[in-house]
Amino acid sequence: MKKIITYGTFDLFHYGHLRILQRAKSLGDYLIVAVSTDEFNALKGKKCTYPYSHRAQIVEAIKYVDEVIPEENWEQKERDIVENKVDIFVMGNDWKGKFDHLKTQCQVKYLSRTEDISTTEVKHHVKNESSIEIKK
Ligand code: C2G
């Protein structure tokens, strides 16, 4: 069984989140998603709209996701990879290069980020009651 792992906040779950999980799962058979806890997001300087318990349950309900674990710090990735016998570590390419040190333990893949959508943009559209345009 080929095991994949990815990490993220996944606040205000949106299409870009769905696509990275879909593509991560397509690389193997079992996808673990480490969802950032509220405490860790505070360290990242991120203020979430949804609390961890909501974000974790939403991610867990996505059909591509097999397991959700909490992401509590930057350093746990090495341990997570060893303990879960992970084959591929996946992140969006906004993180390109940042986790190359993990290459000693597993494959590291950065997938293209979905354009024109982000949690910040979702907040903007909600505030302005505007819609996200589907680019042709
Ligand atoms: N993502 C994407 N396309 C978007 C938005 C996000 O592919 N339009 C990807 C990001 O590249 C990331 C994942 O979705 O791989 C989750 O994004 P965030 O919830 O913003 O996670 P982040 O705050 O980047 O936390 O230790 C790593 C951190 O926990 C990552």
Whole-prediction pTM: 0.97
Residue 135: pLDDT band (50, 70, 90) is confident
Residue 134: pLDDT band (50, 70, 90) is confident
Average pLDDT across the chain, whole number: 97
Q: Residue 125 has what pLDDT?
A: 96
How is 64-133 classified by DSSP, letter by letter?
A: T--EEEEE--TTHHHHHHHHTT-SEEEEEGGGTTTTGGGGGTSEEEEEPPPTT--HHHHHHHHHHT--PP
Q: Is the CB of 37 under 6 A from ligand 1?
A: no
- Cβ burial, residue 113 (10 Å; 0-12/13-18/19+): middle
Q: Residue 99 has what pLDDT?
A: 98
Atom 11 of ligand 1, residue of closest alpha carbon: 92
Testing ligand 1's pocket by substitution, the residue of 22, 54, 94 carrying the most ligand atoms inside 8 A of its CB is: 94
| Mean pLDDT of the 76-100 span | 98
| Mean pLDDT of the 78-107 span | 98
**Residue range 35-79, pLDDT digits in tens:** 999 999 999 999 999 999 999 999 999 999 999 999 999 999 999
Domains of the chain: 3-127 (3.40.50.620)
Q: To the nearest 10°, report the CA torsion of 75, 120, 10, 21.
A: -100
